[in-house]
Amino acid sequence: MTSYNYIELKSSNLSISKKFYVVIGGYEPNLRKLGTIEDTLNGGIDYSVGALRETHNVIIRVKHTSDETGFGSLADLRSLFELNNPAGTPSNIITYVDHFGASHNVYIVGDFGQSLLTTLIEGSQAVYLVKLALYFIP
């Protein structure tokens, strides 16, 4: 299976369609099984089965100003994060193309946790790490 050294994030109307590098140590695919377990009065177990939910927590290495064709900047990534209107154009549903080229509809949830790696804060030499959580839409 072919894999890529980047992911792609695309807005619903493709006004933003950019590639981003993910720090491999910060790539955490997670599968969560929703459900509840309760004890019954007679000592048994009552298990309510829930859905399976997938999230990918990623740390993206992004330049303040991209100098690579097709790759996004810090502003592009922030614009994707700030999409917050389910009825808007573009909506808050993002297409996430993973390292294997598979497309998934996701929400970006949680915090936009950014930290600077370089002494420069602007331009193509300024590099940031941005933590994001991508919540898969079933």
Write the pLDDT tens digit of every residue in 4-34. 999 999 999 999 999 999 998 888 999 999 8
Q: Whole-angstrom Cα distance, residue 72 to residue 10?
A: 10
Closest among 67, 61, 79, 76 to 115, alpha carbons compared: 61
Query: Does residue 1 surpass a pLDDT of 80?
Result: no
69/66 Cα distance (integer angstroms): 8
Domain edges within the chain = 7-28+56-136
Which residues are 71's β-sheet partners?
A: 19
**How confident is the prediction for the chain on average, in pLDDT?**
94
> What pTM was estimated for this model as a whole?
0.87
Residues 43-66: pLDDT tens digits?
899 999 889 999 999 999 999 999
User: Per the structure block, which two tokens stand in for 113?
Assistant: 């946790």
Give the tokens for residue 19: 């590639």
Give the pLDDT score at 72. 97
Lowest-pLDDT range, 49-53, 66-70, 81-85?
49-53
Cα(136)–Cα(86) distance, integer angstroms: 15
> Is the per-residue pLDDT at 91 higher than 80?
yes
For position 24, what pLDDT does the model report? Answer: 85
